[in-house]
Chains A and B, each alone.
Chain A
Amino acid sequence: MTPKRKRLWLVVSSLAVLGFAATLVLTALNDNIVFFYSPTQIAEKQIPPERRFRMGGLVEAGSVQKSADGQTTRFRVTDTNKTVDVVYRGLLPDLFREGQGVVAEGSLGADGVFVAREVLAKHDETYMPPEVAKAIKDAGQWKDGKK
C-alpha cells in the first residue's frame, strides 16, 4: 500500500467509527432525553400520561403520608404557585424531608397523580437542584438567602 492509500484507510475507518457513534448518539438522544417540568408547567402543558419526565419543587409541609405498610409514600410538590400530587413506592432517599427541594422522575397517571419511579437523593441538605430553584424563581416566590 502506498502512504496515500494508508492515510485514506485511516481516515475512512475513523469516519466509520465516528459515524457509527454519531448515529447511536442521535437515536439515543431522541429516545432517551428526559424533560424537566415544574408544577406550573405541568398544569399548563398537556403532558400525555405514560410520558416519562422529571419534575421538581419543594415537598409541601404537612403533605407527606405513608401507607400502612410504610412502602408507599404520597406527597405534594409545589413551586409555590401550583402543586402536584406524587405517589412513590420504595425507600425514599435519606434527605427527603418536608420543605426541602426534591426531584422525581416518572410519569403522570390517568388521574393526574405523578407516579414517581425514582426520587433523587442529594448528599447535602443545603443543596437546591438548579431546576427547582429556577421553577420557584419563575413562580415569583424566590427569596435570596433561602436555602
Chain B
Amino acid sequence: MIPELGHFALILALAVALVQGILPLLGASRGDIRLMDLGRTAALTQALLVFVAFGALTQAYVTSDFSVVNVVANSHSAKPLLYKISGVWGNHEGSMLLWALILALFGAAVAVFGAGLPDTLRARVLAIQALIGVGFLAFLLFTSNPFERVSPAPLDGNGLNPLLQDPGLAFHPPLLYLGYVGFSVTYAFAIAALLEGRVDAAWARWVRPWTLAAWCFLTLGIALGSWWAYYILGWGGFWFWDPVENASLMPWLAGTALLHSAIVVEKRDSLKSWTVLLAILAFSLSLLGTFLVRSGVLTSVHAFAQDPARGMFILAFLLLVTGGGLALYAWRAPRLTPGGMFQPVSREGALILNNLLLCTLAATVLLGTLYPLFLDLLTGNKVSVGPPFFNATFVPICAPLFAALCVGPYLGWKRAEIWPALLKLRVAFIAAVVAAIVAATAIDGRATLAALAFGFGVWLIVGSLGEFAQRLARTGYRMPPRAALGMTIAHAAMGVVVLGAVGTGAWNSELMQTMKPGDRAQFHGFDVKLERMESLQGPNYIAERATLAVSVGGKSYTVLQPERRLFAVQRRQVAETAIHTNLLRDLYATLGEGEAANGWVIRLYYNPLAPWIWLGAALCALGGFVSLSDRRLRVGAPQGGKRARTRPIAHPAE
C-alpha cells in the first residue's frame, strides 16, 4: 500500500511540476499576478509530494519490504539500519529520486525565501526549476520506477554493494547532489534573467547565496568521495583522475568561477552576460556528470552497472538543457546592457584572470575526460587518458592561478597598482621560497616539482592569512565582514589542500610484505609486528582481522587492525583499511589475501600530510558557509524572514 502511495505521489508531483513549469511563465509574460503566484504554491506542493514519495521508499527500505523490486535488489534484512537508509540512494532509481527531491526542495526554498524577489523574476525562476523537475520526474516514472512490485515477494534481498556499506559513502551522494542540484537554481536564475532581459547588481545578490550554498555542498561531497576512495579502495591514493571523479570536478571548477564572477556583477555591474553563461555551463556540467556516471559510456574505476536506455534519456535532457540554455543566451544576451570597462590591474581584472584560468582548467578536464569517447567515435581506437595527462596539463595551469590568488585581494576595484600589492606579500613570498628550498633539500632532493608545489601551498596560506592580518591592523582590529573572513578561510584552505596533495602524492612510501603471526616488518622507523589473525562475525559479513602491533624504538606506539570482510549475501570480499593518523601523516595498513601456511600479504603506506587534503576541503566549505552567513548576502531576503538562508537547504543532508 505505502509503495503505491509513493508512486501515486510521484505521479501527482509530475502533474504539479507541469503546472508550475507552464502557468507562472504565462503569468509573467502577461503580467497576471495570480498565475505568477501559483508558482509558489505549486513549488511547495511539489516538494511535499516528492518528499512523500521519498519517505515511502525509505519506509520500504527500513521495514525491508521485499515486495518492492528496488528493495530486493539493494537491501537485505540483516543490514544495519544506517545502510538500510543509505541503500535508498545507493542505487540508480533511489538516487534519481533523491535528485528529484533535492530539486523540489530547492524550488520550495526559492518559493519561501524569495519573497523579496520581483514577482516576474520569481515566477520565472520557479517555472524553470519546475521544468527541470519535469525532466527528472518523467525520467523516474518512465524509465526507473523505484516502486515497482514483484510477486511473489522473495524471502530476503540481494543486499547493498558492500563497498557502499560505509559511513563515508552513506552521506557522499546526498552532499554531492545538493551541490549538483544547487546549480539548477543558478541556472533557473540565469534563464529567468535572459527572459526578463535584465541582469543587475540585485540579480547577482540573489544568485550568489544559492551558488555559494551549492558550491559548499559540492566541495564537501567531492571531499567525502575522495576520502572514501582513500580508505576503502586500499591503494593509498586520494584522486585518480577517473571520469567519474572528473565529472564532479568540472562543475566545481565552473561553480568556483561563477562564484567569483558574480562578485563583479554585484559590485561593479559588469561581466553580466559572462556570468549568465557560466551559470548555464555550471549546471550543464552537473548534468554531464550525472550522464557520465549513469550511462557508462566511459570506463571508470567507479563504474556501476548501467542501462543504455537511461543514459540516452539523460543525454537528451542534457542536450535540451544545455542547447536550450545556450540558444536562449545567444538570442537574448546581446540585449543585456554592457557593463563598464576597467583597468587590467584591478580587482575586476584579477577576478577575470581567475575566471579565465578556472574555465581553462575545466576545459582541460572536459577534454581529457571525453577524448577517449571522441577518438572511439572517429577512429574506433580504444584509448584511456589517465593521471599523466592531467598531471601534465591541470597542474601547470594551477600555478598561475595560485600565484595570482594571493595578489587579487590586495587590488582595489576599478584601478590599482601592482607593486604595492606585491610588496605587501613579501613575507608570504619569502616563506614560500624557504618552504620550497627546505622541501627540495631536506625532504626529497629529486622531486623538484613537488617542492615547487609545496612552496605554492605555503604561499597560499601565508599570503591569505597575511592579507587578513593587514586588513585587521588597518581597520583597528574590528572584525571584517563575514564575506571577507570566509574568503580568507577558503583561500588559505586551498593551500592546505595543496600541501596535503603534495605530501601524499610525492612523498609517500609503501611496503608490501607477506607475514605470518609473529613476523616483523621495518617501515619508516616503525617496527610492525603481526600479532595474530582472527575471524570475526559482523552483522552481515564475516571478517578476517590482522592485529598489527606498531612500536617505535622498542616502545609500543599503536595497534592497527585491517580486515578483509566477506559479505555472505553477495559473496564478495572487501578490504577494510586501518589508519593511524596524527594529523601530520597517516600510517595506513591493508590486509591482502593469504592463509596460514604461507602467511598473509600486508601492505603498509606512509602518507605525509594526507589528512590535510580533507581538512583543507572541509575548511574550504567552512569558508563558503561563513561567507554565506554574511548579512550583505541577505539583502534580498524577505522582511521578517531574517533567519539564515542556508537553513532549508541544509535539511536533506541530515
Residues of A within 8 A of B (CB): 1, 3, 6-7, 9-10, 13-14, 17-18, 20-21, 24-25, 27-29, 31-37, 54, 66, 68-71, 90-95, 103, 105, 120-127, 129-131, 134
Inter-subunit contact A1/B343 (CB<8 Å): yes
Given contacts A123-B302, A126-B305, contact A33 B592 (CB under 8 A): no
Q: List 6 A-B contacts (CB under 8 A).
A: A21-B363, A21-B393, A92-B592, A123-B304, A125-B572, A130-B298
Inter-subunit contact A70/B601 (CB<8 Å): yes
Give A29 to B176 CA distance when docked, in angstroms: 30
User: Nearest CB to that of B164 among chain A residues?
Assistant: A123
Partner of B392 from A6, A31, A90, A94 at Cβ < 8 Å: A31
Inter-subunit contact B356/A91 (CB<8 Å): no
Q: Which segment of B27-35, B379-387, B485-493 sits at the interface?
A: B379-387
Inter-subunit contact A70/B360 (CB<8 Å): no
Give A108 to B478 CA distance when docked, in angstroms: 66
Q: Does B296 contact A (CB under 8 A)?
A: yes
Partner of B343 from A6, A7, A125, A127 at Cβ < 8 Å: A6
Determine how close the nearest CB of chain A comes to the CB of B351; give it in whole angstroms: 12
Among A6, A7, A28, A90: residue with most chain B CB under 10 A = A28
Give A93 to B385 CA distance when docked, in angstroms: 21
User: Nearest CB to that of A122 among chain B residues?
Assistant: B303
Inter-subunit contact B344/A6 (CB<8 Å): yes
Given contacts A32-B386, A69-B598, contact A127 B305 (CB under 8 A): yes
User: Nearest CB to that of A95 among chain B residues?
Assistant: B572
Q: Does B82 contact A (CB under 8 A)?
A: no
Given contacts A33-B384, A70-B514, contact A123 B598 (CB under 8 A): no
- Residues of chain B within 8 A (CB-CB) of A91 are 234, 512, 575, 590, 592-593, 601, 603
- Residues of chain A within 8 A (CB-CB) of B298 are 130
- Residues of chain A within 8 A (CB-CB) of B299 are 103, 120, 129-131
Inter-subunit contact B360/A17 (CB<8 Å): yes
- Residues of chain A within 8 A (CB-CB) of B540 are none
- Residues of chain A within 8 A (CB-CB) of B386 are 32, 34, 105
Give A130 to B299 CA distance when docked, in angstroms: 7
Partner of B397 from A14, A24, A92, A130 at Cβ < 8 Å: A24
Determine how close the nearest CB of chain B comes to the CB of A94; give it in whole angstroms: 5
Among B306, B357, B383, B573: residue with most chain A CB under 10 A = B383
Inter-subunit contact A27/B382 (CB<8 Å): no
- 20 new A-B pairs (CB below 8 Å) besides A29-B389, A34-B384, A126-B305? A6-B344, A21-B397, A24-B364, A24-B393, A25-B367, A25-B368, A35-B383, A36-B381, A54-B382, A69-B514, A71-B601, A91-B592, A91-B603, A94-B575, A124-B303, A124-B305, A125-B570, A125-B572, A127-B303, A130-B297
Give A147 to B357 CA distance when docked, in angstroms: 44
Partner of A124 from B161, B385, B601 at Cβ < 8 Å: B161
User: Nearest CB to that of A9 among chain B residues?
Assistant: B344
- Residues of chain B within 8 A (CB-CB) of A123 are 161, 163-164, 301-304
Interface residue SS majority, chain A: mixed
Residues of B within 8 A of A (CB): 161, 163-164, 233-234, 296-299, 301-306, 341-344, 352-353, 356-357, 360, 363-364, 367-368, 371-372, 375, 381-386, 388-389, 392-393, 396-397, 400, 512, 514, 570, 572-575, 590, 592-594, 598-601, 603
Given contacts A123-B163, A123-B304, contact A27 B514 (CB under 8 A): no
Given contacts A1-B343, A70-B601, A131-B299, contact A90 B512 (CB under 8 A): yes
User: Nearest CB to that of B574 among chain A residues?
Assistant: A94
Inter-subunit contact B601/A14 (CB<8 Å): no
User: Nearest CB to that of B342 among chain A residues?
Assistant: A6
Determine how close the nearest CB of chain A comes to the CB of B238; give it in whole angstroms: 15
Give A52 to B139 CA distance when docked, in angstroms: 41
Give A93 to B233 CA distance when docked, in angstroms: 8
Determine how close the nearest CB of chain A comes to the CB of B566; give it in whole angstroms: 10
User: Nearest CB to that of A89 among chain B residues?
Assistant: B512
Inter-subunit contact A18/B360 (CB<8 Å): yes
- Residues of chain A within 8 A (CB-CB) of B573 are 94
Determine how close the nearest CB of chain A comes to the CB of B157; give it in whole angstroms: 15
- Residues of chain A within 8 A (CB-CB) of B600 are 70
Determine how close the nearest CB of chain A comes to the CB of B280; give it in whole angstroms: 19
Inter-subunit contact B601/A33 (CB<8 Å): no
Partner of A28 from B343, B388, B574 at Cβ < 8 Å: B388
Give A27 to B396 CA distance when docked, in angstroms: 13
Determine how close the nearest CB of chain B comes to the CB of A131; give it in whole angstroms: 5
Give A127 to B92 CA distance when docked, in angstroms: 14
- Residues of chain A within 8 A (CB-CB) of B344 are 6, 9-10, 13
Partner of A27 from B368, B392, B575 at Cβ < 8 Å: B392
Give A24 to B344 CA distance when docked, in angstroms: 25
- Residues of chain A within 8 A (CB-CB) of B570 are 125
- Residues of chain A within 8 A (CB-CB) of B397 are 20-21, 24
User: Nearest CB to that of A7 among chain B residues?
Assistant: B341
Determine how close the nearest CB of chain A comes to the CB of B416; give it in whole angstroms: 14
User: Nearest CB to that of B394 among chain A residues?
Assistant: A24
Inter-subunit contact B343/A34 (CB<8 Å): no
- Residues of chain B within 8 A (CB-CB) of A24 are 364, 392-393, 396-397
Give A10 to B388 CA distance when docked, in angstroms: 31
- Residues of chain A within 8 A (CB-CB) of B599 are 69-70
Among B233, B363, B382, B514: residue with most chain A CB under 10 A = B382
Give A27 to B393 CA distance when docked, in angstroms: 9
Inter-subunit contact A35/B572 (CB<8 Å): no
Determine how close the nearest CB of chain A comes to the CB of B246; give it in whole angstroms: 14
Give A136 to B163 CA distance when docked, in angstroms: 28
Inter-subunit contact B371/A29 (CB<8 Å): yes
Inter-subunit contact A121/B383 (CB<8 Å): no
Given contacts A17-B360, A54-B384, contact A130 B598 (CB under 8 A): no
Determine how close the nearest CB of chain B comes to the CB of A142; give it in whole angstroms: 15
Partner of B383 from A14, A31, A36 at Cβ < 8 Å: A36
Give A77 to B161 CA distance when docked, in angstroms: 25
- Residues of chain B within 8 A (CB-CB) of A103 are 299
Inter-subunit contact A124/B304 (CB<8 Å): yes
User: Nearest CB to that of B591 among chain A residues?
Assistant: A91
- Residues of chain A within 8 A (CB-CB) of B590 are 91
Partner of A6 from B341, B384, B396, B514 at Cβ < 8 Å: B341
- Residues of chain B within 8 A (CB-CB) of A54 are 382, 384
User: Nearest CB to that of B340 among chain A residues?
Assistant: A3
